[in-house]
Amino acid sequence: MKKYIVQAKQDDVSMTYNEVKRYLAETTGGRNTKKYSNTNVENVRKEIHTNKQ
């Protein structure tokens, strides 16, 4: 009986393959995940440049 309860809970929180890729890209800065990133590269470059001065 416990096995079925655990399985039901796991089914409720499962993600698709693409959802996992997107989550990893957004939270870990993974490689080859640029299409999932919401980072504005120009803003980051400007911020780095202003911090160096």
pTM to 2 decimals? Answer: 0.39
Confidence of residue 49 (pLDDT cuts 50, 70, 90): confident
CA-CA distance, 29 to 33, in Å (whole number)? 8
Does the pLDDT value for residue 1 go beyond 70?
A: no
Interval 15-48: pLDDT, tens: 888 888 888 887 877 677 677 777 888 888 888 8
Asked if the model's pLDDT at residue 11 lies above 70, the reply is: no
Extents of the domains making up the chain: 2-52
CB contact at 8 A, 26 and 39: no
